[in-house]
C-alpha cells in the first residue's frame, strides 16, 4: 500500500461527496415532474414519446399496475434483443460478418442485459455486431438502469405519501429518467471518453502491419457511446471481452477516474433525493454514511490483500520503489496499478455494475473475497442505480424492526408504522437472494457439467461457481472469468439473473404500495430516529450480520480455505 | 399514543388494482411501442450522432489512435503488439488469443493458488534473471495483464530491459536510459494511476534515432 493509493481514495471520496447534493436535487426535480433547465429542449420530445406510445401522462398507478407495466416492458425488451441477436448476420452494421448468436447464448445475453446484469458468456469482439451492440445491448443499458431508478423512486414515494393508493406513473418515470438524466449525461461523458482515447466509429476492424512485420487485426467500433451508459447505468457489460481493462474502453488513469465516479454518482445522489423527498435530509445522510463506511472497509481489505501477495511471486521484485509499488500484477494493467485496480473492483461490486478493470479471478484469495462479499451483502453500498437504494431501504426497514423489538415498541419509519406485511415483504426480498445463489451453486458443484467448466483447481474452482451465481442473482455481471461456459450454465444463469431481478423487485413495489396507503403518525418518545449516527451504525450492523449469517459457510469453503492453504504454501 | 410490540396486520389491505383484460392489452401495446420508440432514440440516434460529433471533435481518438508510417497503419498507440527481437523493448506477456490478439482480449484468469501460474512466473523469472543478472525482475514483466493488450510497462521494467536493447543496437546504456526517461509518463496530475512507458512509442523512437 502507498500513500498515493490512499490519496487517490481520498480525492475520489471528496469528489463523490461534492456531487451528492447537486445530483440529488436534479434527480428530485426530474422524478417529481418539476421544471429543469433542459425543459425547453426536451419537453417536446417527452410529449412526442407519450403520444407515440399512447401514454396518459396524468394517470397514476397502483403498485400492481406499476409492477405489471415494469414486467411488460422488461419482457418486450428481452424479446426485442433476442430477435436482434438471432438475426444480426442479416442486418446492417456488421462489417466483420459475424454469425447469428446461438440460441442458448442469445437467451443468456438477452436475460443478462434485461436484468442490468450484463454477464457475458462470450467474447464480444468476435460474437456481437455493431448493430447488436448499439440497438440490442446499449439500449438495455438505458432501460434496465431506468427501471432500477424508477422502482427506487416508487418506493420513496410510498414512504412519502400518506393514504394514497398510487405510487406514480411507470411510463412517465421511465421516459423522464431516460430523457432528462441518462441521455444528456451520456452524451457529455462519451465525448470525454473519446477525448481520452476511446474509439467511436463504425469501421471494419483495422489490419495493422506491425513493426516486426506481423499482421495485427485491431477490433474497434462504437465503443464510447456504449461505455458511457455501461458505467453510468451500473450495467457493466463490456464492448470488449476485457471490459474496462481494455485500453480502448479505459485508456488512461483519468478515464478510469471518470468511470469509477460514474458508477457511484447516481446511487449516491439518490440518497440525497431520499432525504429531500421524505423531508428528512438527515436520514438521507445517515444512509449515505452507512454506505460510505462499508465502501471504505471493502477497499481497505482489497487494497491491503492485493499489495501483499503470497509466495507464488516472491521471485520477482517485491521491494517498493518510487516507480513500482509491490503487489499482485497478474491480471492487472500497468496504468492502473494496484490502488486503482482494487478501488475499481470494490466500487463495481458495491454497486451492481460489474465492469472490471482487472481480472478478479487472479486476485489473491482475500482480495477476491471482497468483490464476492460485496455482492453477497446485496449491493447496497451505493449499489446499482436505484437497486442499491431500494435494497438498502429494505435493510432500513429490517433495522427499525429490530430496534423496535429491542425497545418493545411498534417500529416506525418516517411516520409509518412498520407492520407484519412490510416485514414479510422485506424478508422475502432478503431470502430470495441467498436461496437462488446457494441452491444453484450446490447443484452445479454436484453435476459434471458444472465441474468441467471450472478453470482453476482446488477451492478456487468452487469460488468461481459461487461467484458466478452470486453475480448473476445480484445482477452484477463481474466474474471469476476463468469459469467456462456450456448450455447448462447459459440456461441456469439466465434464470438466476431473472429471479434475482424481478422476484426481488415485486416485494419492493408491494412494500411501496402498502406504505403509501398508511396514515402518518407523529413521532413519539418511543420512535427510533433514523437520522442519527446510532441508526447508521445499526444499519451497517444489520447488513453485515445478515450477510455473514447467510454466506459465511459458503465463503469458508472458497476464498477462506484457499487463503489458509496458500498461506501454508499449498498450490493446486 | 400507546403502541405495542405485536405486529398488527395492515388495517386496510393494499388496493386491489383492476387488471382488466383491456388494461392488460394496453400494457402490452405500450410496452412494445415504448420499446421501439426508445430503442430508435438511444440505440440509433444517440450512438450515430455521437459518432459524427466525435469524428469532428477528436478524429484521431475516434478512429482508434492509430499510428501511421509511410501511409500504412503499423498499430495503435493504445494496443500492445508483439516485440521479440533483442533490439526492441518487449511488452508484458499476453493472454489475448495466441498473444496480442486485438480481437480476443483477456487475461489468464489463473488463480494465485494454481500451480500453473506459479510455474510460469518462476520459469520467466529464471530466464530473465540470466539476461540481467544482479537485478530483481520487475513484477509486471512476468505477469500477464488483464486485457492482454496492455500498451505500457513500468519504468522499472524498461530500465531492466535497457542493457539488452543497448547491446543489440550498439548504443550506450545511458543513451537508452535517457530515451526511457523521455518517454516515461508520470501519474496524471501527479495523482492518478501509475507511472508508465508506452512500449510501441519507445520502440519507434529508438528506430527513429537510429535513422
User: Could you read off the pLDDT of A193-241 as tens digits, one per residue?
Assistant: 999 999 999 999 999 999 999 999 999 999 999 999 999 999 998 899 9
Residue A138 DSSP class: I
Using CB atoms, pick whichever of A197, A334, A570 lies closest to residue B140. A334
Q: Give the best residue of A10, A232, A334, A365 to mutate against chain B (max B CB count within 10 A).
A: A334
Chain centre distance of CA A500:
12
CA A553 – CA A566 distance, rounded (Å): 19
Q: What is the pLDDT of residue B137?
A: 84
* Cβ neighbours of A362 in B, within 8 Å: 107-112, 117
The residues near B48 (Cβ < 8 Å, ≥ 6 apart) are none
**Contact assessment for residue A227 and residue A249, using Cβ atoms and an 8 Å cutoff:** yes
Which phi and psi angles does B106 have, rounded to 5°? Answer: 155, 165
Q: How confident is the model at residue B13 (pLDDT cuts 50, 70, 90)?
A: very low
Q: How confident is the model at residue B22 (pLDDT cuts 50, 70, 90)?
A: low
Using CB atoms, pick whichever of A248, A409, A571 lies closest to residue B115. A571
ipTM value: 0.93
Q: How confident is the model at residue B133 (pLDDT cuts 50, 70, 90)?
A: confident
User: Could you read off the pLDDT of A545-571 as tens digits, one per residue?
Assistant: 999 999 999 999 999 999 999 888 888
User: Could you read off the pLDDT of B51-71 as tens digits, one per residue?
Assistant: 999 999 999 999 999 999 999
Using CB atoms, pick whichever of A123, A253, A332 lies closest to residue B188. A253
Q: What is the pLDDT of residue B211?
A: 78
CA A571 – CA A568 distance, rounded (Å): 9
Q: How many CB atoms lie within 10 A of CB A549?
A: 10
| For range B188-194, the mean pLDDT | 95
* Cβ neighbours of B138 in A, within 8 Å: 316-317, 324
**Does the distance separating the beta carbons of A62 and B121 come in below 8 Å?**
no
CA A426 – CA A405 distance, rounded (Å): 16
- Name the B residues in 85-104 with CB < 8 Å from any A CB: 85, 88, 92, 96, 100-104
* Cβ neighbours of B88 in A, within 8 Å: 211-212
| For range A497-523, the mean pLDDT | 94
Q: Decide if B114 touches A, using CB distance below 8 A.
A: yes
**Does the distance separating the beta carbons of B145 and A333 come in below 8 Å?**
yes
Beta bridge mates, B188: B192
Q: What is the pLDDT of residue B5?
A: 40
Of A253-257, A522-526, A539-543, the least confident: A522-526
Residue B14 has pLDDT above 80, yes or no: no
* Cβ neighbours of A197 in B, within 8 Å: 61, 65, 77-78
**Does the distance separating the beta carbons of A481 and B106 come in below 8 Å?**
yes
How long, in residues, is chain A? 572
Beta bridge mates, A217: A207
| For range A318-344, the mean pLDDT | 80
Å from B111 to nearest chain A CA?
A: 5
Give the torsion sign (CA, B78, B84, B89, B95): positive
CA B83 – CA A450 distance, rounded (Å): 39
Q: What is the pLDDT of residue B121?
A: 87
Q: What is the pLDDT of residue A90?
A: 92
Q: What is the pLDDT of residue A518?
A: 96
Q: How many CB atoms lie within 10 A of CB B2?
A: 7
**Contact assessment for residue B92 and residue B128, using Cβ atoms and an 8 Å cutoff:** no
C-alpha separations of A350 from A16, A300, A378, A434, B76 in Å: 15, 13, 8, 17, 34
C-alpha cell at B84: 521479440
Of A102-111, A149-158, A384-393, B124-133, the least confident: B124-133
| For range A105-128, the mean pLDDT | 89
Q: At what angle do helices A183-196 and B46-57 cross, to 10 degrees?
A: 40
**Does the distance separating the beta carbons of B27 and A49 come in below 8 Å?**
no
Å from B168 to nearest chain A CA?
A: 15
Q: How confident is the model at residue A316 (pLDDT cuts 50, 70, 90)?
A: low
Q: What is the pLDDT of residue A313?
A: 55
CA-based nearest residue in chain B for residue A6: B191
Which phi and psi angles does A145 have, rounded to 5°? Answer: -65, -45
Q: Decide if B107 touches A, using CB distance below 8 A.
A: yes
| For range A33-56, the mean pLDDT | 95
Give the side-chain half-sphere CA count within 13 A for A569. Answer: 0
* Cβ neighbours of A310 in B, within 8 Å: 112
Which phi and psi angles does B3 have, rounded to 5°? Answer: -120, 155
Beta bridge mates, A413: A416
CA-closest candidate to residue B149, choices B113, B210, B107, B114: B107
CA-closest candidate to residue A186, choices B35, B192, B59, B41: B41
Q: At what angle do helices A504-516 and A63-87 cross, to 10 degrees?
A: 150
Residue A283 has pLDDT above 90, yes or no: yes
Q: How confident is the model at residue A97 (pLDDT cuts 50, 70, 90)?
A: very high
Q: Decide if B178 touches A, using CB distance below 8 A.
A: no
**Does the distance separating the beta carbons of A201 and B63 come in below 8 Å?**
yes
Å from A312 to nearest chain B CA?
A: 5
Residue B11 has pLDDT above 60, yes or no: no
Q: How confident is the model at residue A484 (pLDDT cuts 50, 70, 90)?
A: confident
> What's the predicted TM-score (pTM) here?
0.94
**Does the distance separating the beta carbons of B109 and A331 come in below 8 Å?**
yes
Residue A274 has pLDDT above 60, yes or no: yes
**Does the distance separating the beta carbons of A359 and B5 come in below 8 Å?**
no
Amino acid at each position: 500500500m502507498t500513500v498515493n493509493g490512499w490519496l487517490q481514495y481520498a480525492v475520489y471520496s471528496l469528489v463523490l461527496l461534492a456531487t451528492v447534493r447537486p445530483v440529488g436535487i436534479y434527480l428530485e426535480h426530474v422524478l417529481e415532474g418539476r421544471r429543469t433547465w433542459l425543459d425547453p429542449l426536451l419537453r417536446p420530445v417527452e410529449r412526442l414519446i407519450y403520444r407515440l406510445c399512447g401514454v396518459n401522462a396524468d394517470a397514476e398507478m397502483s403498485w400492481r399496475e406499476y409492477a405489471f407495466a415494469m414486467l411488460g416492458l422488461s419482457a418486450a425488451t428481452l424479446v426485442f434483443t433476442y430477435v436482434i441477436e438471432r438475426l444480426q448476420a442479416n442486418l446492417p452494421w456488421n462489417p466483420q460478418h459475424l454469425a447469428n448468436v446461438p440460441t442458448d447464448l442469445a437467451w443468456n445475453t438477452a436475460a443478462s442485459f434485461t436484468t442490468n446484469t450484463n454477464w457475458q458468456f462470450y467474447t464480444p469482439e468476435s460474437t456481437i455486431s455493431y448493430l447488436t451492440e448499439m440497438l440490442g445491448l446499449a439500449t438495455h443499458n438505458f432501460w434496465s438502469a431506468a427501471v432500477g431508478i424508477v422502482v427506487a423512486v416508487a418506493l420513496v414515494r410510498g414512504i412519502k405519501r400518506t393514504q394514497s393508493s398510487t405510487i406514480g406513473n411507470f411510463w412517465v418515470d421511465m421516459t423522464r429518467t431516460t430523457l432528462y438524466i441518462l441521455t444528456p449525461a451520456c452524451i457529455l461523458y462519451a465525448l470525454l471518453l473519446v477525448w481520452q482515447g476511446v474509439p467511436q466509429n463504425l469501421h471494419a476492424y483495422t489490419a495493422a502491419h506491425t513493426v516486426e512485420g506481423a499482421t495485427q487485426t485491431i477490433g474497434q467500433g462504437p465503443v464510447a457511446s456504449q461505455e458511457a451508459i455501461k458505467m453510468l447505468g451500473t450495467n457493466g457489460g463490456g464492448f470488449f471481452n476485457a471490459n474496462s481493462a481494455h485500453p480502448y474502453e479505459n485508456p488512461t488513469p483519468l478515464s478510469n477516474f471518470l468511470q469509477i465516479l460514474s458508477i457511484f454518482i447516481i446511487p449516491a445522489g439518490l440518497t440525497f433525493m431520499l432525504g429531500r423527498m421524505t423531508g428528512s435530509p438527515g436520514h438521507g445522510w445517515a444512509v449515505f454514511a452507512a454506505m460510505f463506511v462499508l465502501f471504505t472497509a471493502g477497499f481497505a481489505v482489497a487494497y491491503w490483500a492485493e499489495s501483499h501477495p503470497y509466495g507464488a511471486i516472491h521471485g520477482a521484485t517485491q521491494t517498493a520503489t518510487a516507480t513500482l509499488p509491490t503487489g499482485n500484477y497478474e491480471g492487472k494493467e500497468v496504468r492502473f496499478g494496484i490502488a486503482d485496480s482494487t478501488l475499481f473492483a470494490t466500487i463495481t461490486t458495491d454497486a451492481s455494475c460489474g465492469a472490471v478493470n482487472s481480472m478478479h479471478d487472479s486476485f489473491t484469495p482475500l482480495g477476491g473475497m471482497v468483490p464476492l462479499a460485496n455482492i453477497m451483502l446485496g449491493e447496497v453500498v451505493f449499489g446499482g442505480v436505484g437497486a442499491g437504494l431500494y435494497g438498502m431501504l429494505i435493510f432500513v426497514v429490517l433495522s427499525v424492526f429490530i430496534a423496535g423489538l429491542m425497545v418493545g415498541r411498534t417500529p416506525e419509519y418516517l411516520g409509518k408504522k412498520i407492520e407484519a406485511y412490510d416485514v414479510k415483504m422485506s424478508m422475502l426480498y432478503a431470502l430470495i437472494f441467498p436461496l437462488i445463489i446457494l441452491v444453484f451453486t450446490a447443484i452445479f458443484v454436484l453435476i459434471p457439467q458444472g465441474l468441467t467448466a471450472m478453470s482453476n483447481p482446488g477451492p478456487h474452482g468452487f469460488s468461481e461457481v459461487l461467484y458466478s451465481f452470486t453475480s448473476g442473482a445480484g445482477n452484477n455481471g463481474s466474474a471469476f472469468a476463468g469459469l467456462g461456459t456450456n448450455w447448462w450454465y447459459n440456461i441456469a444463469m439466465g434464470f438466476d439473473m431473472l429471479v434475482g431481478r424481478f422476484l426481488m423487485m415485486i416485494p419492493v413495489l408491494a412494500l411501496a404500495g402498502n406504505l403509501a396507503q398508511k396514515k402518518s403518525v407523529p413521532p413519539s418518545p418511543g420512535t427510533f430516529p433514523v437520522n442519527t449516527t446510532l441508526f447508521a451504525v445499526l444499519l451497517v450492523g444489520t447488513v453485515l450480520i445478515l450477510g455473514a449469517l447467510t454466506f459465511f459457510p459458503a465463503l469458508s469453503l472458497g476464498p477462506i480455505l484457499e487463503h489458509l492453504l496458500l498461506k501454508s504454501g499449498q498450490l493446486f | 399514543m400507546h403502541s405495542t410490540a405485536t405486529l398488527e396486520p395492515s388495517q386496510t389491505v393494499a388496493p386491489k388494482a383492476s387488471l382488466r383484460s383491456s388494461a392488460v392489452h394496453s400494457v402490452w401495446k405500450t410496452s412494445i411501442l415504448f420499446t421501439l420508440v426508445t430503442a430508435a432514440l438511444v440505440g440509433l440516434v444517440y450512438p450515430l450522432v455521437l459518432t459524427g460529433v466525435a469524428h469532428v471533435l477528436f478524429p484521431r481518438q475516434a478512429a482508434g489512435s492509430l499510428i501511421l508510417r509511410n501511409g500504412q497503419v503499423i498499430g495503435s498507440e493504445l494496443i500492445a503488439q508483439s516485440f521479440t527481437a533483442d533490439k526492441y523493448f518487449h511488452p508484458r506477456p499476453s493472454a489475448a488469443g495466441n498473444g496480442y490478439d486485438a480481437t480476443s482480449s483477456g487475461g489468464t484468469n489463473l488463480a494465485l493458488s494454481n500451480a500453473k501460474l506459479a510455474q510460469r512466473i518462476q520459469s520467466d523469472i529464471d530466464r530473465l534473471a540470466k539476461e540481467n543478472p544482479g537485478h530483481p525482475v520487475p513484477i509486471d514483466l512476468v505477469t500477464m495483464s488483464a486485457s492482454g493488450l496492455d500498451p505500457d510497462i513500468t519504468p522499472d521494467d524498461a530500465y531492466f530491459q535497457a542493457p539488452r536493447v543497448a547491446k543489440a543496437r550498439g548504443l550506450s546504456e545511458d543513451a537508452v536510459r535517457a530515451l526511457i526517461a523521455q518517454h516515461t509518463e508520470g501519474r496524471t496530475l501527479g495523482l492518478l494511476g501509475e507511472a508508465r512507458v508506452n512500449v510501441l512509442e519507445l520502440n519507434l523512437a529508438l528506430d527513429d534515432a537510429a535513422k
